[in-house]
Amino acid sequence: MEENKNPLGEEIKSIDSLYEHYAFIADPGQSPLRVDKFLMSRIENVTRSKIQQAAKEGSIYVNDLIVKSNYKVKGRDKIKVLFAHPPYENLLVAEDITLDIVYEDDVLVVVNKAAGLVVHPGHGNYSGTLLNGLLHHFKQLPKNSNNRPGLVHRIDKDTSGLLVVAKTEQAMTHLSKQFFDKTSERKYLALVWGDVKEDKGSIEGAIGRHPKNRLQMTVFEDNSEGKEAITHFKVLERFGYVTLIECQLETGRTHQIRAHLKFIGHTLFNDKRYGGEKILKGTSFTKYRQFVDNCFKLLPRQALHAKTLGFIHPETGEKMQYDSPIPDDFNSAIDKWRQYAQHKNL
């Protein structure tokens, strides 16, 4: 992982690396073959040193388990490998993408991001991102410590909601420090599996890369790995098998809400990466399964929306706070569960 400087000049580690992803299934009659040789024969223009480096970094998987370069591939094995992507600067191309701008002045912009829009270029999304759109609309944007113009923070591709973007170096430094000092306000709306018993509470547990699945984050309850993470929540509405809650971030780790909610047994509804696309609570009746499938179709993404964003204006010192409306797909799923909770006979 590359080393970066935070606004206070202290060393921090980035977990936002870019990757190219390749996946293969070995033929049923595959004779035992070292995984590095197997990948050499299937990936165009790849070098053996690049494959061995991926193995050293724990980026080669067989059947979802990390393996070393000398692992012998067998028939029907599922092989995945992640490679560091070429220089990030090559992906910073301006594109004419429509942005939902909530507020703008000379030093910052508040954007309401739609679900499905990636914030910045990365594996499988090398163009068409929010950042590509920002570069088109705003020609001169300051770069953050990860070399990403204008970006103070980010939200996941399938999470909708608010982001603040810096237009000047001063605004970048001031806003980044607020996020680092935990003085910004970020509230999310989340629909989760299960009946959350407590009306409100806090989830604490260090978050880091999952040891066996680099695409997931996981909670290290003993703080042996990862970084400190704190999420506060309160229940807004109960629907029996799912609960609508508000989450407030005290820290801002990658996938923080998603990992924390899974950790306490309340995975986000339809969060495919963390298992929320399965029916985790409820009955086995066909009618219920059909009802849940219909909810998945209405909300074909994780049920998470960055609803409220608050910060101090870098120049005026004024407290700024913005709220974004709940997207139609999210609202439709909430309404459907609300009806189910009222009638229980769908």
C-alpha 77/C-alpha 62 separation (Å) is 6
> Residue 128 belongs to what H/E stretch?
none
Identify the burial level of 266 via C-beta atoms within 10 angstroms of its C-beta, where 0-12 means exposed, 13-18 middle and 19 or more buried. Answer: buried
Catalytic: 156?
A: yes
Q: Is 323 helix (H, G, I), strand (E, B) or coil?
A: strand
Instruction: Give the max Cα distance, the chain.
Output: 69
Q: Which of the following is catalytic: 16, 36, 100, 156?
A: 156
C-alpha 182/C-alpha 323 separation (Å) is 19
C-alpha 274/C-alpha 261 separation (Å) is 10
User: Tokens in use for 60?
Assistant: 């080669």
Which letter, b or e, does each residue of 67-104 get, where b requires 16 or more Cβ atoms within 10 Å of its Cβ? Answer: bebebebeeebebbbbbebeeeeebbeeeebebeebee
Identify the burial level of 190 via C-beta atoms within 10 angstroms of its C-beta, where 0-12 means exposed, 13-18 middle and 19 or more buried. Answer: buried
Please give the backbone phi and psi of residue 249, each rounded to the nearest 5 degrees, phi first.
-85, 130
- Angstrom CA distances, 32 to 39, 59, 186, stand at 13, 20, 51
Segments of 97-216 assigned E as strands = 101-104, 108-113, 160-166, 185-193, 200-204, 206-209
Residue 240 CB contacts under 8 Å (≥ 6 apart), including other chains: 195, 340, 341, 344
- Angstrom CA distances, 309 to 17, 66, 346, stand at 26, 38, 37
Residues marked active site are found at 156
